[in-house]
Amino acid sequence: MAGESKFTTDHDHIRRWVEARGGSPATVRRTQNGSEPGILRIDFPGYSGSDSLEHISWEEFFRKFEEKELAMLYQDETSTGRESRFVKFINRKTAHEKAQAAN
């Protein structure tokens, strides 16, 4: 369904979804602590944020993703049926609760 939000913690699915849309893993530069990645983001070329984001490896990204027990909230398509780049990282417990409420 267009505009439907989904959740996943599957690393392969996340990587495929991001790369299919031309994105790459990143961290918010001002939230980094030394070599430790800060807040996780996805950098999509042509969108705002390029000045505040620093690209990181998928290995670093997923290490932080697991450490913080995150899930990816995303949409495959917008409500008008166009390919979506909506993505947000949320707590897994919150994602599980939202999924339970939807069923």
Burial class of residue 61 (count of CB atoms within 10 Å of its CB; 0-12, 13-18, 19+): buried
Number of domains observed in the structure of the chain: 1
Q: How confident is the model over 17-71, as pLDDT tens digits?
A: 999 999 999 999 887 677 677 889 999 987 766 678 989 999 999 999 999 999 9
pLDDT surpasses 60 at 1 = no
Indicate the residue type of 46: G
Give the pLDDT mean for 69-80.
Answer: 93
Q: Contact at 8 Å (CB) between 9 and 72?
A: yes
Global pTM value: 0.84
Which domain covers residue 81, as residue numbers?
Answer: 5-102
